[in-house]
Amino acid sequence: MSNFQVFKGIGSGCDKEAIRLIKEGPKWIPARQRGVTARTRKMIPINFKITGN
């Protein structure tokens, strides 16, 4: 996986943390079309729950 983008960021370091979590996650199996590895795009929603004191 490469070319990570945040579409609706909330700032405060959460955007960087979301990208870090995706990069450190388990290995993905690449998409295949007619037996050949194909490039695809995937949008993964990540929800943060921020609590105050």
Closest CA to 22 of 48, 2, 49: 2
**DSSP β-bridge partners for residue 32:** 37
The predicted-structure confidence for 12-34, as pLDDT tens digits, reads as follows: 788 898 899 888 988 888 899 99
Q: How confident is the model over 31-41, as pLDDT tens digits?
A: 999 999 998 88
Q: How far apart are CA 22 and CA 14, in angstroms?
A: 12
Residue 53 domain flag: no
Both structure tokens of 49: 């729950």
CB 15 within 8 A of CB 7: no
**pLDDT, position 2:** 80
What does the pLDDT read at residue 14?
Answer: 87
The answer to the question of residue 26 being in a domain is: yes
Q: Is residue 48 one of the residues assigned to a domain?
A: no
The total number of structural domains in the chain stands at 1
Provide the strand spans (E) within the chain.
Answer: 32-33, 36-37
Mean per-residue pLDDT for 40-47?
A: 87
Residue 47 inside a domain? The answer is no
Position 53 scores a pLDDT of 67
Residues in the chain: 53
